Amino acid sequence: MLALPIRRAAIAISVHGHGLEVLSATDQVAEQVEWTQVTLGEGPGFDAVASGGPVSLVSLVQADARWPMFVSEVAGTGIGAMYALPLQIGAINVGVLDLYCDPGEFLEGPDFTAAVAVSELLTSVLLAVGPGGRIPESLGPWWNQPLGTREVHQATGILMEQLGIDARSAYVRLQAFAFGNRQSLKDIARDVVSRRLRSDPESGETTTPHPTAQP
């Protein structure tokens, strides 16, 4: 990928019932955009996974009717174009590779073809390794889930136990609370895990602050 005109990259994996989860990102800017997609449940990555084909966004600073909330939230990141390439072989969907260009840079012609080839290679590698397989040292940082994603799993489990609901319902509650409070899903999950936020098992309402809880 170093030969491609991109500045950043990120991988999100598909999880049944949850949509996408952040697997890895090259820097904090890419990670921020990935978590924005996951929190809102919209963006090029989601459409690429749903369609099974590449999806492009030529400018993250211009309004786009396909993903109005997503574009609004990431407009100030300094990223130019975004390309979402599905990590898929036949009916097997692994996730999506998101590539980010600087303003004025684009993936065109041979560069785009090379990017698709990279996504196909990455798909093969991830399918061969699998989350429970032996991971070569050079791939470890790309496969091991970041702390934020692990905390989302933990927070989902906490809400399931507190409210007596299934995983999908608990995950949606986390998303809704994050969106309503203009925070990322990983930040809300961290607060739930640390007990700075809790849910009300009697009313069944969305996660609410608990002022007496200790981190």
Place 200 in a pLDDT band, splitting at 50, 70 and 90. low
Q: Would you state the pLDDT for residue 158?
A: 79
DSSP characters for 5-20? S-SEEEEEEEETTTEE
Phi, psi dihedrals of residue 162, rounded to the nearest 5°: -70, -40
Ordered by start, the domain boundaries in the chain are: 8-136, 147-209
Cα gap 31→28, rounded to integer Å: 5
Instruction: Kindly report, residue by residue over 60-114, the tens digit of the pLDDT.
Output: 988 899 999 999 999 999 999 999 999 998 888 889 999 999 999 999 999 999 9
Cα gap 162→140, rounded to integer Å: 34
* Cβ(26)–Cβ(10) below 8 Å: yes
Q: Would you state the pLDDT for residue 132?
A: 47
Instruction: Kindly report, residue by residue over 46-62, the tens digit of the pLDDT.
Output: 999 999 999 999 999 88
Place 196 in a pLDDT band, splitting at 50, 70 and 90. confident
Q: Which CATH architecture has domain 8-136?
A: 2-Layer Sandwich (3.30)
Q: Would you state the pLDDT for residue 140?
A: 47
Strand partners, 127: none
Q: Which CATH architecture has domain 147-209?
A: Orthogonal Bundle (1.10)
